[in-house]
Structure 1
């Protein structure tokens, strides 16, 4: 890490020597750099009076202080050096306050769970904190970035936010978070197009996102209310009768007896299968509004349960002895939004898995035991909005 920083520092110093300086009054030569606890990466780092050197693609903070000792992980993703500047450079563009954060986008695709857990909720927690006491709009620019691989240097050449991906859910999710309230400026090579040897200046810039501990009902419900508001969903959208949705998965961790399960509970409640594949982000959020119980095997589709109507029940299913899945993390997030139940397969004979290829049952398909499924649905129908709707009949 130190060797890499020395190389970057040499590049930065070389570029600064040949730069034409302006007479702008911004005191960018007097910067600061510090870190607090982060969610992903482990530190949430902050800089004042920083520049982005287009030539070296490096963030430079004008301070004689060294990089915070524990910040290696964060500044491995966002290349930052601390070095005193004697005069301010000409700024091609200026940002008052920006937050650079990363989201899961490798091999041209994303992950719906990590997008929410590692990115959206932690970033929103910062925006919410800024809004408190702001007495109006807050001037924060959202600058999503992409890692070349997990916790490795950001990919300036990513096409994640190019026009070809404009309809992809990970782009639509970021646009929904920003809305009309915040500017959304992806941090990619387009920042350099007009002046490849220039500079972008930041009055304040943050790297990463603050620490979030789940369950946090206030945070999750505030976030989902914001997204519902963005999509025009109000209290009038609440379901008028009890309905169960069973999420269909088509590749891995499938429920192999979906139709049998639906047929088994239809005498108790209206029920249907739902598949989110091919839906836009807004369509997925809208689709779950009709359910008072949403059931799904651990996986991306179940993350839509955070958008369920208030008081609806989320039910997570899990394969037999799946020791390497994020079952607990899913549970903590879903508990943050409201009633939550869980079924873990305890019957090895109902587990369908190639143990040589998948020794931890992470991809296992499951035949869900019908009697146990009926029991957990009956429990769900006795709590939350389901109980209220039943009492109103």
Structure 2
């Protein structure tokens, strides 16, 4: 205590000090309530100082962790957080438990849940294990979004529980759970609960609503709980029993001992590589052992298959998500269709480098694109893709991703393949 503090204390009697302390505490709660009301923040009573609702929301996702008497009632889409005592202050707010914030149709269809700090309904079933509520709706049918919006955030949120956590899934699709069941079973020892079909009030002492997410197709290790994408890749290697952690040497002192394996991801629908066979033939003449294949839906088979390659090449799209299974130091070549360089590095370039993969990029020129001739010569589609992007993601993606095929200039591509060969065989 400073000299000034001791003078202040001696100036008041014990009774006056108690009155002053009570007044200050009351003033604090009045100010806090006023601020929360003005800025529409969740308001918590004095009880919350003991049993709080933690807000881990960020620019990518909304996440709340609750402790105490938590009761979820599916029929009313409400999560009740019970106070320990009768309080007059009532707070409620809504959340869509999907790890992507965008004002788009698919995300708007994600089921919205109300979190209500108030008296609770009677409990039907009580659990001693914590739970996490999340959605498998929105873009979950897309392979890339399944990982970046759900699986990686689920790992980030739940790995700390070592399997002792219950998954409450809203907007549940049985096919989705079946497809990624191996991962779900590794993160939770318990059966998945389709919360939308529950008619009872389920009670927990701890619940997380929403999934933590801090990076596109990756993890920021600087943010709590300080996992990394390297940790996640190791988790996948263990989950799927993948053999190769890093690429094997393809040379020895006096020559090549094996041809480096290259996977060309085939696409049969939008953004098709029209001279795919010509690309594969050229790569073989350069010394690669080439496989051209469209990825299947069995994640376990795909994981083992991809893990056996040194180089993976493909057009910008969900197929490149499979880089997550490549061994460390493998090479990823992203073929970027005309105009799509706005998204190429964010979605696959930066993630590849974070995964300790060697990343190469081949940017398609207008002469190699099927867009040539579809628009007037002075069209903004050709002149300024960034301007199209500013009009909205849907219009941009329809123009450059859904409406474009590619015929690669093999002369231009050769330099990229030479570089890839040198990286894995130098």
1:47 corresponds in structure 2 to 66
- Partner Cα separation in structure 1 for residue 288 and residue 295 of structure 2: 22
Shift of 1:334: 1.9
State the Cα distance separating 1:326 from its structure 2 match.
5.6
Correspondent of 1:56 among 76, 85, 88: 76
Verify the 8 A CA contact 1:177 1:227 in the aligned structure 2: no
Q: Is the 8 A contact 1:105 1:111 kept in 2?
A: no
> Residues 279-336 of structure 1: CA distance to partner in whole angstroms, max 9, x if unpaired?
4110110111221000011111110011101211111111101267565222222222
Hey, what does 2:262 align to over in structure 1? 244
* Alignment of 1:173 onto 2:163: no
Offset, 1:344: 4.3
Matches within 5 A, 1:206-285: 206-213=208-215, 214=218, 216=220, 219-235=228-244, 241=258, 242-285=260-303
Q: 1:345 aligns with which of 352, 355, 363?
A: 363
Q: 2:244 touches 2:308 (CA, 8 Å); kept in 1?
A: no
* CA separation of 1:73 and 1:199: change in aligned 2, threshold 3 A: closer
- Counting matched residue pairs gives 324
Kindly provide the CA deviation profile for residues 55-88 of structure 1, in whole angstroms up to 9, marking residues without a partner as x.
42422222445246xx656598441232422x77
Q: Distance in 2 between matches of 1:141 and 1:344?
A: 44
- Aligned partners of 1:334, 1:65: CA distance in 2, in Å? 46
- Cα distance, 1:222–1:382 mapped onto 2, change above 3 Å: same
Judged with a 3 Å threshold, the aligned counterparts in structure 2 of structure 1 residues 338 and 123 are, in CA distance, closer, same or farther, namely same
> What is the DSSP-based 3-state SS (H/G/I as helix, E as strand, rest coil) of the residue aligned with 2:71?
strand
When you count helix as a share of all residues, which structure comes out higher? 2
Give the aligned CA root-mean-square deviation in angstroms.
Answer: 3.3
What CA deviation, in whole Å up to 9, does each residue of 1:176-227 have, x standing for no partner? 243275324143434x2xxx3x310121111111232346586222222222
The separation in 2 between residues aligned to 1:238 and 1:344, in whole angstroms, is: 22
Paired residues for 1:74-153 under 5 Å: 77-85=111-119, 89-104=122-137, 110-128=141-159, 130=160, 137=162, 139-146=164-171
Q: Residues 122, 251 of structure 1: CA spacing in aligned structure 2 closer, same or farther, 3 A cutoff?
A: same
Match of 1:367 in 2: 407
- Residue 99 of structure 1 deviates from its aligned partner by 1.5
1:142–1:182 Cα contact (<8 Å) kept:
no
TM-score by length of 2: 0.67
| Structure 1 residues without counterparts, runs of 5 or longer | 1-26, 132-136, 147-157
More relative contact order, 1 or 2 (CA 8 Å, 6+ apart): 1
User: Residues 376 and 263 of structure 1: is their aligned pair in 2 closer, same or farther, counting only changes over 3 Å?
Assistant: same
